[in-house]
Amino acid sequence: MIARALAEAAAALAGVSDTPRLDAELLMAHALGITRERLLLVPPAAVPGGFAALVERRATGEPLAYITGTRDFWTIDLVVGPGALIPRPDSETLIEAALAAFRESDGPTRILDLGTGPGTLLLAALAEWPAASGLGIDRSPDALAFARRNAERLGMAERAELRIGQWGREVAERFDLVLCNPPYVAEDAQTGPGVAEFEPSGALFAGKDGLDDYRIIVPQLRELLTQNGVAILEIGHDQARSVADLLRKEGLDPVLHKDLAGRPRALSVRRSG
């Protein structure tokens, strides 16, 4: 019965997901209260009663992470839900770039995450550098509520301060590492199924060319970085040149980082002088 239910669910989700079978398995595991690995290794005999309702929700385009309430990112597991941008694997490029930037040192002492959402980049970075502490800024109270829950769950509440704010506007401190995944989708751009319908628009869209928030953030970077500090910004796959130009106008020399698919995904800069 489980095999049949999974096949039927995957068929029902084929129009809204690039990974319908995986989605079906994760929803089944969630309904059963077990891991996907256990589902595949020791499949139960009966389909749980709530499974069909979960599949119906996913079929409307509701993101899988909002249905299950969690999302894996880097080495951590995050609680997510409506009001918080869902972490994407592409954003792990920023953590990889940060590790590379501090490979020859003990790592950053203070970390700033601008637009932290559910704490994605800040908490992933703090997991890498246990001696570090950090500050996460977001303008959304809903997103910060998730970030605080995640900091508590991960045992990082004492190391992660979370604060309402507009980018770096009211931040007086300087940081060794600044991470930022701002909104960068152009307002008339197409998004994947369920993205614009369910995820917070303020965390996605940034004006006609998708650059509105970079124009605010980039001029703030020098005053946010310590001497030799590093800032890493996520970008859209077609924004490398335009965001790099904004950085160069501020006297910063950007380095491009690509994601696992080989697409431009982040730009890093190091403050000197």
- CA separation for the pair 135, 142 (Å, rounded): 17
- CA separation for the pair 235, 185 (Å, rounded): 9
For 266, what's the count of Cα atoms within 13 Å in the CB-facing half-sphere? 26
Last residue of a domain, one of 60, 84, 101: 60
Number of domains comprising the chain? 2
CA 254 to chain centre: 21
pTM for the whole structure: 0.95
Residues 134 and 216 in one domain: yes
What pLDDT score was predicted for residue 273? 66
* Chain segment 106-154, per-residue pLDDT in tens: 999 999 999 999 999 999 999 999 999 999 999 999 999 999 999 999 9
Question: Does residue 239 form part of some domain?
Answer: yes
Specify the amino acid at residue 232.
I
The CATH number that applies at residue 262 is 3.40.50.150
* Chain segment 8-19, per-residue pLDDT in tens: 999 999 999 999
Asked whether 230 and 178 are in contact (CB, 8 A), the reply is: yes
Share of the chain above pLDDT 70, in %: 100
Last residue of a domain, one of 35, 60, 85: 60
Residues 78 and 183 in one domain: yes
Residues 122 and 183 in one domain: yes
Question: Does residue 82 form part of some domain?
Answer: yes
Residue 226 exposed, middle or buried by CB count within 10 Å (0-12, 13-18, 19+): middle
Question: Does residue 65 form part of some domain?
Answer: no
What pLDDT score was predicted for residue 188? 87
The CATH number that applies at residue 29 is 1.10.8
- CA separation for the pair 222, 225 (Å, rounded): 5
Per-residue CA distances from 11 to 19, 20, 68, 142, 193 (Å): 11, 7, 20, 34, 16
Q: Which residue numbers in the chain have pLDDT < 70?
A: 273
- CA separation for the pair 108, 95 (Å, rounded): 12
Q: Which domain holds residue 35?
A: 2-60
- Report CA dihedral (269, 221, 94, 245) to the nearest 10 degrees: -60
* Chain segment 87-115, per-residue pLDDT in tens: 999 999 999 999 999 998 999 999 999 99
Question: Does residue 263 form part of some domain?
Answer: yes
Residues 180 and 260 in one domain: yes
What pLDDT score was predicted for residue 192? 83
β-bridge mates for residue 175, sequence order: 225
Encode burial over 160-174: b for 16+ CB neighbours within 10 A, e otherwise.
bebeebebbeebeeb
Asked whether 97 and 105 are in contact (CB, 8 A), the reply is: no
